[in-house]
Amino acid sequence: MAKKKTPQPDEAPAQTAPEKTPEQTPETAQAAGADVEQQLEALEKQAADLNDRLLRTLAEYDNYRKRSLREKEQAYADSKASVLTELLPVLDNFERAAAAEGEYADYRKGVEMIFSQLQAAFAKLGVESFGEAGDAFDPNVHNAVMHTEDADAPENSVAQVFSKGYKLGDRVLRPATVQVVN
């Protein structure tokens, strides 16, 4: 025989009350559908606005990139034109000197004037020459092509300069070609 379980006084019956749900009528279903449609339209409008902003930002970036590239190319062309404008008078004077007839002394004087004009153009552009005999040898700005022994000159100094070096600010355009004392 099976025993019946009798409820204890401190135990509550395990009955749950059914939840009450509002009854859906056709009017409430229609109102809920209209609310969902409004939310959907608002979200679609927001997505279209964000997409439009994204496309405008991409177009703006592309225009910026193209404009900066054009400006860079223009700056490069302007700098080349500026340098060449400074050198054209020197070229004209070399042509005149080559076409001129005269004595050696006059020719030499003309070439010296052209040389000083070229040096002035370089100075105006900020180009400085370096590399003199007696300077301390610096491998960053000198190109040693020969070594010599000299008891009178300090060690690791420039004994002879074959071609001067040139720099623009801190940038070395061409190192000086030198002979170094060991």
In the CATH scheme, what is the code of domain 34-125?
A: 3.90.20.20
Please report which confidence band the pLDDT of residue 175 belongs to, taking 50, 70 and 90 as the band edges: very high
Give Cα separations from 123 to 52, 76, 102, 111, 115 (angstroms): 54, 20, 31, 18, 12
Whether 127-182 and 34-125 are alike in CATH topology: the answer is no
Looking at the whole model, is its pTM more than 0.85? no
CATH class, 127-182 region: mainly beta
Q: Going by DSSP bridges, is the β-strand pair 165-168/171-174 parallel, antiparallel, or unpaired? A: antiparallel
Match 């927001």 to its residue by tokens. Answer: 46
User: Which burial class, exposed, middle or buried, applies to 172 when counting CB atoms under 10 A from its CB (0-12, 13-18, 19+)?
Assistant: middle
Domain positions in the chain: 34-125, 127-182
- Name the nearest CA neighbour of 83 among 52, 51, 126, 39: 126
Q: What is the pLDDT of residues 50-104, one digit of tens each?
A: 999 999 999 999 999 999 999 999 999 899 888 888 888 888 888 888 888 888 8
Mean pLDDT of 24-51: 85
At 15 the pLDDT is: 57
